[in-house]
Amino acid sequence: MYQEVCDNIENLVVEPKVKREEPTTVLKISNLNVNLPNHPILKNINLEVQENKITVLLGPSGCGKTTLLKSINRLTSLTPELKVTGKILIEGEDVLNGRTNIPELRQKMGLLSQRPFPLPFSIYKNIAYGLKLKGVRDKNLIEYNVEKRLREVGLWNEVKDRLNTPASSLSIGQQQRLCLARGLAVKPKIILADEPTSALDPTSSKTIECLLKELKKHYTIILVTHVLRQAVRLADHVVFMYYGEIIEQGEPQELFKHPKTEKLRNYLIDGN
């Protein structure tokens, strides 16, 4: 009964998701250029991201994948030297040019970084923090959400007896799942995952991969990786990048079986 009530209250906070038959474009990037003074990082990026799919940005280190990801939620503004031009539309709203409320915009996207950065709070507060920023004050709703998100990432049973201990006391794999749960708590549209398994052991990596597969039912995921096998395992759509450019993109089966360009072919050979 209580859960039902809470779900209803939640739906008041954020509109419920309506399942659609046709794949919808959640994010559209056109003519995106990112430059450092005298040094281009991203060149003329055009990309459409479909709802409830895992779009994998694949490419060697330093090819601009992370910069592309950070342009999407405007974290590029932390580096004032970066000049970002072009258009990024999320649900029709222009991220770069419009009069965007940036904190609100960022809440549409949960970020999962290369290594976990738990906030210097308790496990409970790590998840509650985003909700509080959203203006949720109801203690019961927050409590319900904390449990729900921790269950969603399979962490609840491991931490339910020590919710008030510092998040830093968790293992690195648990911390990464906590960071995922924290991102989910603000009900994002998109999950931006920047090589989320690169600092993790194989078991924790597998857990995260399974979670991402599960989460795509409810969220759109953009995953940055340089690991070919991870792309094969997870991708619905692969975008291959090389030195700041999108070289090829398409369905993974097609792209990996019949690469059109020499660069991707070489990358596939090196990756195997």
Partner 1 sequence: MNFSRVIYNKFLSSWMRISITVIILIPFAIGIALLLKSLPIIRSDSIFNLVGSGKWAPSEGKFGFRPYILSSVYVTLFSFLFAAPVSFLSAIYLTQFARGRLIKLVYPVIDILAGIPSVIYGVWGVLVIVPFISGFVAPVFNTSSSGFTILAGGIVLAVMCIPYMLNMLLEVLKTVPTGLKEATLSLGATNWETTKHVVLRNCFSGVVSSFGLGITKAFGETLAVMMVVGNTVHISFNPLQSGYPLPALIANNYGEMLSIPLYDSALMFAALLLMTIILVINLFFRFLMYRAVNQ
Binding mask 200-229 for partner 1 (x = CB under 8 A): ------------------------------
Q: Tell me the C-alpha distance between 206 and 153, whole Å.
A: 13
| CA gap 248, 259 in Å, rounded | 8
Spatial distance between the Cα atoms of 82 and 165, rounded to a whole number of angstroms: 39
Look at residues 186, 237, 184, 238 and name the one whose alpha carbon lies nearest to residue 52. 237
146 contacts partner 1 (rule: CB under 8 A): no
Q: Is 187 in the site for partner 1 (CB under 8 A)?
A: no
Choosing from 13, 40, 129, 147, the residue that interacts with partner 1 (CB under 8 A) is 129
Site for partner 1 (CB under 8 A): which residue of 111, 146, 181, 239?
111
- Work out the burial of residue 139: count CB atoms within 10 Å of its CB; fewer than 13 is exposed, 13-18 middle, 19 or more buried: exposed
Q: Which residue has the tokens 């989460």?
A: 215
Site for partner 1 (CB under 8 A): which residue of 103, 140, 164, 261? 103
Q: How many CB atoms lie within 10 A of CB 270?
A: 9
Q: Does 182 bind partner 1 (CB under 8 A)?
A: yes
Least distance (Å) between residue 222 CB and partner 1: 13
Amino acid at 267: Y
Q: Does 15 bind partner 1 (CB under 8 A)?
A: no
Query: Which residues contact partner 1 (rule: CB under 8 A)?
Result: 70, 73, 75, 78, 80-81, 103-104, 106-107, 109-111, 113-115, 117, 119-121, 129-130, 133-134, 179, 182-183, 186, 192
